[in-house]
Structure 1
Amino acid sequence: MAVEASEPSRQVTFTGAGFLHGARAAQALCAGVFVYGVAFGLVAQQVGLSLIEAGLMSAVVYSGSAQLAAASALGGRGAGGAVAVSAIAATILVMNARYILYGAALRPWLGKLPAFPAYATLFFLGDGNWLLSMKEHAAGGRDAAYVLGSGLAMFVAWLAGTILGQTAGLIVPDPSRLGLDFLLVAFAAAMGVGMFKGKGDLAALAAAAATAIVVNLVASTGWAIVAAGIAGAITAAIRFAPPDGA
């Protein structure tokens, strides 16, 4: 059954046709998401996560950058297990904080929908399908099921890749020998190119890059990712803060 909600410019809908349209549009990215999931599965196996643990992490956290950063922290943990758990939880929270902004950006599309379809859609939201959805909305699309269809398609690819990668981890014990450890960098770079608006974004990019380089010299790659994200976000917030009284 279709769900409809009013929007000032055009009516928002939530239909099966929109869901299928989103799922089809996501196929162009699903292969990359699958390989990305394989890379995480290999890393998860390498740091000692079981198939169930890796699968649950992918199903519940569903964030490649956060999961790889957490896996990196796991791989470098020492004797303080409790400290490691709190550090990993903090890593995931910080890395996934961007979804607050993603959700806010989708509010014109999802904000007037009933709670169940809106929150179910947000659960399956990922970087790739968020970018697809924003482009679809900018092009005039108003069927919000597009977001759910594209997100669920990528979620299935991610989970399948994780399971395959963790299972194959015994055969390929070192992902870096195949260059699979570069997938996080490649995926983030592709996202950055797609979201780059112009010279105004360079300050945040420079701050994140400089922070990552410095932190990577004294800590693991996972912490460099977290620090770079925080530095870039703070710089962007300062750069684009509205003037007083606006």
Structure 2
Amino acid sequence: MSHPSAAPFTRAGILAGVRLSLPLWPSIAVFGAAFGAAAAQRGLSLWEAAGASALIYAGSAQMVTLEVWGRPWSVSALLAAMTVTALINARMILMGATIQPWMRGSPLWRTALTLFVLVDASWLIGVRHRSEGGRDLGVLFGAGIGLWPLWVAATAAGHLAGALVTQPRAYALDMILPVFFAAMLAPLWRGVRPALPWLASGAVALVVQHLVPGYAFIAAGAAAGLVTGLLVDDGAAR
């Protein structure tokens, strides 16, 4: 049962979210196919690879976990996979926190479905929609669910195709995602002060990536952005 003050969740909003995700489809298709091909090379079956994409739905975490994938599994390999996944997905904590006020009052089932399909792209589409005065949570859900079946299908196709789709740079398709993010972020610019957490996060991540091997730069960047955001908000309140 929705709370009277809960944000709307409409069919029109879902369709709008799907439409806004369309520019990402070529990049997601290539990325998913690359994961499928890499999974096949690691010895995963078609159903294991497609199942991972359907149930986990976390492209970067899935791809990186393949680097520590092994059979038979050892305790150290399992701990490494868990640590890598936790580091990469730590950003989801901050993303979830930013949309929590928007989702307040929504039924549990709706919240669970929306968070299940929450990825970086859908989060950014939703945040931009809300910054422009929109309230329809269907946009956030639609952007995520619009990419989910494509991700699964591309994984299966990549697994079947083997190594044929592991070079997206040859077609410049690897540039679609960063260009899309840059285009979506530009209208969100509200001056230097609100951008400080993003700048601090990026700077710290780059430094840590250069100095520390592995994926600690993801957690370091997220922590730097969180601390900077708290300091900026505290300063504004004063």
TM-score (norm 1): 0.79
Partners of 1:44 and 1:71 within 8 A in 2? yes
CA distance in 1, matches of 2:46, 2:177: 24
CA distance in 2, matches of 1:42, 1:141: 39
User: Please, which of 5, 21, 46 is the counterpart of residue 51 of structure 1?
Assistant: 46
Q: 1:203 to 1:17 in 2, by over 3 A?
A: closer
2:166 corresponds to: 175
2:141 corresponds to: 148
C-alpha displacement at 1:150, in angstroms? 1.3
2:126 corresponds to: 133
1:107 corresponds to: 100
1:208 and 2:220 aligned: no
Q: 1:183 to 1:212 in 2, by over 3 A?
A: farther
Bigger helix fraction: 2
Partners of 1:30 and 1:153 within 8 A in 2? no
1:89 corresponds to: 82
| Structure 2: segments with no counterpart, 5+ residues | none
Tell which deviates more after alignment, 118-127 or 187-196: 187-196
Alpha-carbon RMSD across the aligned residues, in angstroms, is 3.1
Partners of 2:204 and 2:220 within 8 A in 1? yes
CA distance in 2, matches of 1:109, 1:33: 27
TM-score (norm 2): 0.81
CA distance in 2, matches of 1:91, 1:152: 25
Q: 1:14 to 1:39 in 2, by over 3 A?
A: same
Tell which deviates more after alignment, 193-202 or 111-120: 193-202
| Structure 1: segments with no counterpart, 5+ residues | 217-222
CA distance in 2, matches of 1:185, 1:65: 15
Letter in 2 for 1:43: A
Tell which deviates more after alignment, 195-204 or 42-51: 195-204
CA distance in 2, matches of 1:95, 1:70: 10
CA distance in 2, matches of 1:135, 1:40: 29
1:13 and 2:5 aligned: no
Helix, strand or coil at the partner of 2:8: strand
Deviation string, structure 1 residues 209-243 (Cα, Å, up to 9, x no partner): 12223344xxxxxx3xx211012123223333335
CA distance in 2, matches of 1:192, 1:13: 28
1:160 corresponds to: 153
1:64 corresponds to: 59
